[in-house]
Amino acid sequence: MDSDLREQVQSLVPVNHKLRDLGGSLIDDVQADSARDRILAYLRKYPGVEVLGDELMVVAGISEYARRIRELRVEQGWPIFTGLAIKEALDDDLIDNHVREPEKKYKKDNYILVEDKQDRDSAHRWNLANEIRKSKDGVKSKLLRYFRENVGKRITGEELKYLAKGRSEWARRVRELRTEEGWPIVTRVTGMPSLPVGIYVLEEDRQAKVHDRKIPDPVRIKVLERDKFSCRGRDCGWNYENANKGDHYRTFLELHHMEHHALGGSNTLENLITLCNICHDKVHREKTPAVELLKLLED
pTM higher than 0.85: no
Residues paired with 202 in a beta bridge:
185
Question: CA-CA distance, 267 to 284, in Å (whole number)?
Answer: 17
DSSP state for residue 269 in the 8-state scheme: G
Question: CA-CA distance, 173 to 283, in Å (whole number)?
Answer: 32
Integer CA distances (angstroms), 219 to 100, 230, 258, 266, in order: 20, 16, 15, 11
8 A C-beta contact, residue 121 and residue 153: yes
Question: CA-CA distance, 151 to 162, in Å (whole number)?
Answer: 19
Residue 132 neighbours by CB distance under 10 Å: 18
Per-residue pLDDT of the chain (299 residues), as tens digits, is 566 766 776 676 676 666 666 555 666 665 567 889 989 999 999 998 889 888 888 888 877 888 999 999 998 999 999 988 888 877 665 444 444 444 466 777 899 999 999 998 888 899 999 999 999 999 999 999 999 999 999 999 999 999 999 888 899 999 899 988 989 998 887 878 888 888 999 988 988 877 777 788 888 889 999 999 999 988 899 988 887 766 678 888 889 998 876 677 788 999 999 999 899 989 888 888 877 887 777 76
pLDDT of res. 97: 44
Q: Which residues contact 153 (CB under 8 A, 6 or more apart)?
A: 121, 125, 201
8 A C-beta contact, residue 178 and residue 204: no
